[in-house]
Structure 1
Amino acid sequence: MSTYLLRRLIYMVVILLAASLFIFCLYALTPGDFITNNLKLSPERKAELREIYGFNKPLIDRYLNWMGRALHGDFGFSLAQQKPVLTLFNEYVWNSFLLAITSTFFTWVIAVIIGVISAYRQYSWFDSLVMVLIFAAMSIPSFFIGLFLIKLFAVDLRWLPPGGMTTTGSNAAGWAYVLEVLHHMTLPVVVMVLLGVGSLTRYFRSNMLDVIRQDYIRTARAKGMKERTVLFRHALRNAMLPAITLVGFELPGLFGGSLIIEKIFNWPGIGQLYMQSFTVRDYPLLMGFTMFIAVLTVIGTLLSDILYHVADPRVKL
């Protein structure tokens, strides 16, 4: 195990170095930047700022300077927000994490339950209804679902707030603040669950259909075990093995998958900050966020491989 982890850590370092070079070149070679597109600045002031921030230096010098500071925890200074990139991450990333981890939890729980029942009752009215709803949810754009739910529950019924994380001007604290945040995050969580549960349910249904036809499932039933025990203790455990590979994509997806949702519901998360920075081409913040997603991707891939070995000892690392 230790040899495998050491080898994987070396691979991760090489991959992240290559990703950092690609990310930096992608943004650095894109025409225009925050200073160039700022119409309020005079040509002399633009030239001065480009000199201050080193935008007029050769590409390789800029990359080495950026990478050297990144290794010391400094990912640059946001020109649009006038704050260090890591400071902005600390202010916004936890809001995105709260929204994403909650929706991911409900997505997996609902997908597992519906996938198991749908596979067990294959071709029944329940299975047919589930498949129709799954394809409907996957076909409708996220912004349409979000706007429709805002129209229905916030405008017409007035049950839920249309957006934001707290009520404007609210001074709630303690449990009152927690309840207020939960009230505001209900709609975005529902939309994210609807968008993610479809494909995941199909995945679990397909895996369960393969597993429940195996000989050991027939043997467990022949021994007189309860059907619930056979499904959730024997069949589901083995059907979960292929799904473990999805963990590597879920970790970066916690922050990368809610960009549009945060914009629609005006949620103060890292996704909305990324969209704002992309509009004004605030490249230091964009590079820091993209590098953050790259780090989460390689960490998630490593975790999925280790979890797969833990779940199935027959798999050799």
Structure 2
Amino acid sequence: MSTYLMRRLMYMILILLGASLLIFLLYAMMPGDFVTNNFKLPAERKAELREIYGLNKPVLERYMNWMNNAFHGNFGFSLSQQKPVLTLFNDYIWNSFLLAITSTFFTWLLAVVIGVVAAYKQYSWFDTMVMIFIFAAMSIPSFFIGLFLIKIMAVDLKWLPPGGMLVTGSNATGMEYIKEVVHHMFLPVVVMTLLGVGSLTRYFRSNMLDVIRQDFIRTARAKGMKERVVLYRHALRNAMLPAITLIGFELPGLFGGSLIIEKIFNWPGIGQLYMQSFTVRDYPLLMGFTMFIAILTVIGTLISDILYHVADPRVKL
């Protein structure tokens, strides 16, 4: 295990170095930057700022400076927010994490339960309704679902707030603070769960249909085991093996998949900050966030490979 981890760590470093170069070059080749697009500044001030932030240096020199600072824990300075990139991450990323981890938990819980039952009751009315719901959830755009729920739940019925994380001007602490956050995050969590549960349920259903037709399932039933034990202890464990691959994409998806949802519900997360940075071309913040997603992708792939071995000892690392 230790030899495998050391070898994978070397691969991860090489992959991240290549990703960092690609990320930097892509943003460096994009026309304009924060200073150039700020029409309120005179030409002399723009030239001064470009000199201060090193924007007039050659691309490779800027890349080397950026990587040298990154190795020392400095991913640059946000020109639009006037704060270090890591400080902004610390201010916003936990809000995104709260939203994403909650929706991911409910997505996987519902997908596993519904997928197993739909596969067990194939071609029943329940399976038919599940398939209709799956294709409907996969077809409707996220912004439409979000705006529709805001119209019904917030505007018409006034059961839930239309957006934000806290009531405007709120000074709540303790349990009152938690209640406000839960109240405000209900709608975005529902939308993110609806968007993710459809495709994941279809995935688990198809895996379960393949597994329950295999010989070892018939053998378990022939031994007189309860159907619940056969489904959830034997069939589901083997059906989970292909789904482990998705875990490698879930980790970066925790932060990259909620960009539109955070914008719709005005949730103060890293996704909304990322979208705002695009409009002003705040490249240090954009590069820092994209590099963060690359790091999560590599770590998620490593975790999924290790979980393969944990779930099935026959899989060699």
TM-score normalized with structure 2 length: 1.00
Deviation at 1:286, TM superposition (A): 0.2
Rounded Cα–Cα distance in structure 2 between residues aligned with 1:252 and 1:157 = 35
Unaligned runs of 5+ in 2: none
The one-letter code sitting in structure 2 at the alignment partner of 1:198 is G
Deviation at 1:90, TM superposition (A): 0.1
Pair 1:177-2:189 in alignment: no
Cα displacement string for residues 49-80 of structure 1 (whole angstroms, at most 9, x for unaligned residues) = 00000000001100000000001000000000
Deviation at 1:296, TM superposition (A): 0.2
What is the match of residue 109 of structure 1? 109
Deviation at 1:224, TM superposition (A): 1.1
SS of 1:108 mapped into structure 2 = helix
Cα displacement string for residues 241-280 of structure 1 (whole angstroms, at most 9, x for unaligned residues) = 1101111000000000000000000000000000000111
What is the match of residue 69 of structure 1? 69
Rounded Cα–Cα distance in structure 1 between residues aligned with 2:213 and 2:177 = 50
SS of 2:60 mapped into structure 1 = helix
What is the match of residue 167 of structure 2? 167
Deviation at 1:5, TM superposition (A): 0.7
SS of 1:210 mapped into structure 2 = helix
Rounded Cα–Cα distance in structure 2 between residues aligned with 1:30 and 1:215 = 57
Rounded Cα–Cα distance in structure 2 between residues aligned with 1:113 and 1:2 = 36
Rounded Cα–Cα distance in structure 2 between residues aligned with 1:115 and 1:206 = 8
What is the match of residue 212 of structure 1? 212
What is the match of residue 57 of structure 2? 57
Rounded Cα–Cα distance in structure 1 between residues aligned with 2:134 and 2:262 = 23
What is the match of residue 146 of structure 1? 146
Rounded Cα–Cα distance in structure 1 between residues aligned with 2:139 and 2:310 = 36
Rounded Cα–Cα distance in structure 1 between residues aligned with 2:278 and 2:299 = 25
What is the match of residue 268 of structure 2? 268
The one-letter code sitting in structure 1 at the alignment partner of 2:137 is A
TM-score normalized with structure 1 length: 1.00
Deviation at 1:3, TM superposition (A): 1.1
Number of aligned residue pairs:
317
What is the match of residue 199 of structure 2? 199
What is the match of residue 99 of structure 1? 99
Rounded Cα–Cα distance in structure 2 between residues aligned with 1:135 and 1:230 = 29
Identity %: 83
Deviating beyond 6 angstroms after TM superposition, the runs of 4 or more aligned structure 1 residues are none
SS of 1:308 mapped into structure 2 = helix
Cα displacement string for residues 277-309 of structure 1 (whole angstroms, at most 9, x for unaligned residues) = 011100000000000000000000000000101
Rounded Cα–Cα distance in structure 1 between residues aligned with 2:100 and 2:222 = 42
What is the match of residue 225 of structure 1? 225
What is the match of residue 41 of structure 1? 41
Pair 1:284-2:284 in alignment: yes
Deviation at 1:82, TM superposition (A): 0.3
What is the match of residue 132 of structure 1? 132
The one-letter code sitting in structure 2 at the alignment partner of 1:212 is I
Cα displacement string for residues 189-239 of structure 1 (whole angstroms, at most 9, x for unaligned residues) = 000000000000000000000000011111111111111111011100110
What is the match of residue 295 of structure 1? 295
The one-letter code sitting in structure 2 at the alignment partner of 1:76 is G
- Aligned-residue Cα RMSD (Å) equals 0.4
Rounded Cα–Cα distance in structure 2 between residues aligned with 1:175 and 1:72 = 38
What is the match of residue 122 of structure 1? 122
Equivalent residues in 2 for 1:227-246 (5 A)? 227-246=227-246
Rounded Cα–Cα distance in structure 1 between residues aligned with 2:12 and 2:303 = 12
Deviation at 1:149, TM superposition (A): 0.2
Rounded Cα–Cα distance in structure 2 between residues aligned with 1:52 and 1:291 = 24
Deviation at 1:2, TM superposition (A): 1.1
Rounded Cα–Cα distance in structure 1 between residues aligned with 2:25 and 2:307 = 34
